[in-house]
Structure 1
């Protein structure tokens, strides 16, 4: 009987190892596609892919995190294209995924808090003047929480640099100061080590891009 139990245990461990390896490969392939997405449709397709992975791997927070990130990136492309009136719906979708990710990972996760900040920022852009004190304040609160949780996180430094770079000077922004902050973010990227190969590691290319641009 002990022999059969041992055989069953070994078989279970082997199946679990294969399943983990398969999950790691699928996730790695999908994460790599983030860099190649260009259009809202590209990001929506990727978000759907991560959502399907998450439905099969219901105990893991990263599929929901990346579904949220892909959705937020979709919204950021829409914002750059001037399609701001649809951003509430995009934020709704992202925040649904973030609720799942936070439920699995816990509230003290700086990466999730940063995406919540980015989602509230999308909402604010629907009507910045009216929403600065509501969604803008929520975005600031989430950013502050993320920074307290993980002050050396380069993605936090990156998004702070974006905020300063793109905010008009009359409202406290500065392209020159933003550029220096992008340099600080890049230094943090150089020192940063993700916890696993699947953990968030996006943003370096964006910091490098802005640093390479002349200040106008």
Structure 2
């Protein structure tokens, strides 16, 4: 019994140590990102991902960083390298955390990056898949503000493209704002972004 208690204590202390290292690493990565040191932040997330094989969050943020960089990228080769990296880490994250609505939203963003870069080439290829991702995420997490706002923005863009009324999606975005007001992430490191973007879009709806 004494040996079992010692083993159990060592296991618990090891878990606490691992969590502490994970938390310190994530805090450091976010600090670098906030200081606009994107490369250093991404490298830190990669080190965490390599050390913490059961954590989906560092992979998520690597994917997000590469998606964000790709919105303004004009070079096809650079864009492909960034989005391929984002996809690689998303695939890993999805293998760790199944049917995760945050990951489904990020997957939709990465595919939207391709459509935004070359709508003629990737619009037909990915539009249906993006809609499916948002619909699936909405079924899993109907009160997640990033799910609601992401789907509304995608549907609004589609409506504009086909000359349809966008007013119903403005209402969805207003609902997303309400959801942001009450949303509490699982930890300081879980996704908690998007409110400012929705505020801007809702304001544009009212103009």
TM-score, normalising length: structure 2: 0.82
Q: Please list the CA deviations of residues 118-170 of structure 1 after superposition, one character each: whole Å capped at 9, or x if unmatched.
A: 11111112321232111222222212221222121100222234335656835
SS at match of 1:60: coil
What is the aligned-residue RMSD (CA, Å)?
A: 2.9
Which of 89, 94, 103 aligns to 2:95? It is 103
Query: Which residue number corresponds to residue 115 of structure 1?
Result: 106
Aligned-pair CA distance for 1:20: 0.8
Structure 2's unaligned 5+ residue stretches are: none
Trace 1:1-216 onto structure 2 (pairs within 5 A).
Answer: 3=2, 6-31=5-30, 34=33, 37=36, 42-76=37-71, 78-79=72-73, 83=74, 85=76, 86-106=78-98, 108-163=99-154, 169-172=160-163, 179-212=170-203
Partner Cα distance (2:32, 2:201) in 1 = 22
Q: What residue ranges of structure 1 are gaps of 5+ in the alignment?
A: none
> Which moves more between the two structures, 61-70 or 176-185?
176-185
- CA gap of 1:88–1:204, structure 2 versus 1, over 3 A, is same
CA–CA distance in 2 between the matches of 1:89 and 1:17? 36
d(CA) in 1 for partners of 2:31 and 2:195? 14
Give the total of aligned pairs: 206
